[in-house]
Amino acid sequence: MTTKTVYQCDASGWYLGQTEAHESPLEPGVFHIPAGCVDVEPPAADDPARPRWVAGSWVLQVPPAQTSQSPAEVLAAFLAANPAVSALINGASPTSSEAGSS
């Protein structure tokens, strides 16, 4: 079976690496390209830029900074900023000022 190299992207288009597409046993010359892959080789990139597949072509972009907060910390910050939601989760009825009504 014939294969060809294809290039895997994540859901946001960031290049992850290369993999193989296999030729269809029923359609010679037709390759089964895995989901999230393209058959156009990405350009070389210097840090911090990385290849990203956008609207049918590769662009070099700097990825957004990763958050170092744990999911529990993100939730705690959200609940602190939204006391009405916190009250609902804790089984209490939110006050009119917490619910945003006047």
Domain positions in the chain: 3-61, 66-95
What pLDDT, on the 0 to 100 scale, is given for residue 70? Answer: 87
Q: How many CB atoms lie within 10 A of CB 1?
A: 7
Closest CA relative to residue 52, chosen from 65, 61, 64: 61
What pLDDT, on the 0 to 100 scale, is given for residue 65? Answer: 83
Residue 58 · residue 42 · CB < 8 Å: yes
* List of residues 6+ apart from 84 with CB closer than 8 A: 94, 98, 99, 100
Residues 1-32: tens digit of each pLDDT: 799 999 999 999 999 999 999 999 999 999 99
Residues 85-99: tens digit of each pLDDT: 888 888 877 565 555
